[in-house]
Amino acid sequence: MAKTYIYITLLIIIFISVVYFSYKNPYEITSEEARENVKKGLYDYIVDVRTKKEWDEEHLPNIISIPIGDFVAELPQKIPDKNARILFVCKKGIRASGVVVIANKLGYNNVQAMIGNYKELIQSK
């Protein structure tokens, strides 16, 4: 009985892992795709959602800072055009991926989140 329970639990974990890792958020793009899109001029704004402390330590030029903690209040102030083409970036892509959903809820239609470190926008692999 205990072995059956273990096997069923393992099968459930495997199933959940396969589903989780095969799901791709339609708003997420790789750093390579983001770099190409930036080269093509496909964004009106690139927004870094790291904290103010992280931003003050280091950031790329020509990028707007909207810390994730102030995102809901600051996004409409800094980018009032809800049709603007926006790329969200952060340190790994987790926060960017989260705010893209919030931006959609706020009415922004053309948003993407880069999965990867914001520095990858200027680095080639």
Task: Render pLDDT for 4-39 as a digit per residue (tens, 0 to 9).
Answer: 766 677 666 665 555 555 556 678 999 999 999 999
Domain ranges in the chain are 25-121
Q: Specify the amino acid at residue 32.
A: E
**Two tokens, residue 56:** 């003050």
The predicted model scores a pTM of: 0.79
Share of the chain above pLDDT 90, in %: 61
Task: Give the pLDDT mean for 85-113.
Answer: 93
Q: How many residues are recorded in the chain? A: 125
Separation CA 113–CA 34 (nearest Å):
9
Separation CA 78–CA 6 (nearest Å):
53
CATH class of the region 25-121: alpha beta
